[in-house]
Amino acid sequence: MIELKTPDEIEQMRPAGRFVAETLTALADAADVGVNLLELDRLAHDRIRAAGAESCYIDYHPSFGAMPFGKVLCTSVNDAVLHGLPHDYRLRDGDLLSVDFAASVNGWVADSALSVIVGTPRDEDARLIDVTMRALDAGVAAARTGSKIGDISAAIAQVARGAGYSINTDFGGHGVGRTMHGDPHIPNDGRAGRGYPLRPGLVVAIEPWFLQSTDKIVTDADGWTLRSADGSRGAHMEHTIAITEDGPLVLTAR
C-alpha cells in the first residue's frame, strides 16, 4: 500500500535523512587503503548507538536473503554492486566501494547509498560513478507533482543508455516511511508517462545502479552479496526524497 506523508510528517523525517547523510559522509572519508570492511560496519554501528537510532539492516530478512543480514551496512566492492555483506576484507588501492546505509530515527527511516574509489582511480570506474550520479540527479529532477513513476525510471534509463550501460530492473527504488522498503517500486528503466502518479507527500528512495558491461547479476556464496555475472565493476547511488508542491526535497542530501 502506498502511503502519503503530511507536511508535518515529512519534517519529522528530516533528522533521519541528516543522520544517514552524515554517516555516509563519515564512511566515505574513512574508506582508505588498508581499512577493513568490518571497521566501516563498526563505525556505522557506533554512530547508530551514539545517535539513539536503529539499524534497518541488522535483523532484515526478506525472501531473497539467505538469513538475517546481521550487519548495519551494505559494503559492495568492485564486481559486487548491491547487498554486500561486510566481511574480513581490507580495502586495496583502486577498489571501487559502494556503501548503502539505512536507519530509523524517531521511528522514521531514511535510505541512501554512494560509490567511491579507494586510492588511485581508474578512468572507467570514475566514469561509471559519474554516470550513476547523473542518473540519480535525473531521476530526482523528474520526481515532480503531476509526473508518474515511469518518468523517474525513464530519466534514469536515458542517462545510463546514453553512456552505453545496460540496465537491470530486478532491484531499484522504493517507498520509504516507517519501514525501509514499501510501495511503490521504482525500476531504473521504464516508460515516461506511465505508472503511479506522483503526489505531494510521497516519500521514495531513488537508486540507480549499473554494471560496466552487463545487466546480469549472481548471488555470492554468503547468500546476500550481488555481483556482476561477468566480473565487471558496479556503482550504486541512492537518495531518499519527498515529493512536494515545490519540487523534490532530498532528505539525504550530503
The verdict on pTM exceeding 0.85 is: yes
pLDDT for 65 equals: 83
Residue 52: predicted pLDDT:
98
Phi, psi at 29, each rounded to 5°: -65, -35
Alpha-carbon distance 72 to 58, whole Å? 5
Print pLDDT tens along the chain (254 aa): 899 999 999 999 999 999 999 999 999 999 999 999 999 999 999 999 999 999 999 999 988 888 899 999 999 999 999 999 999 999 999 999 999 999 999 999 999 999 999 999 999 999 999 999 999 999 999 999 999 999 999 999 999 999 999 999 999 999 999 999 999 999 999 999 999 999 999 999 999 999 999 999 999 999 999 999 999 999 999 999 999 999 999 999 99
Distance CA 85, CA 137 (A): 27
Query: Which pLDDT does position 157 carry in this prediction?
Result: 98
Residue 207 assigned as binding residue: yes
Extents of the domains making up the chain: 7-250
pLDDT number for residue 63: 83
Q: What is the pLDDT of residue 242?
A: 98
Annotated binding-site residue? 45: no
Tell me the three-class secondary structure of 179-245, residue by residue.
CCCEEEEECCCCCCCCCCECCCCCEEEECCEEECCCCCEEECCCCCCEEECCCCCEEECEEEEEEEC
Lookup: cell for 8: 508535518
**What is the structure's pLDDT at 1?**
86
The reply, when asked if residue 83 is annotated as ligand binding, is yes
| Torsion over CA: 162, 231, 92, 72 (sign) | positive
Residue 181 known to bind ligand: yes
Q: Is 100 annotated as a binding residue?
A: yes
Q: Is 111 annotated as a binding residue?
A: yes
- pLDDT for the residue 64: 82
**Which CATH superfamily, name and number, covers 7-250?**
Creatinase/methionine aminopeptidase superfamily (3.90.230.10)
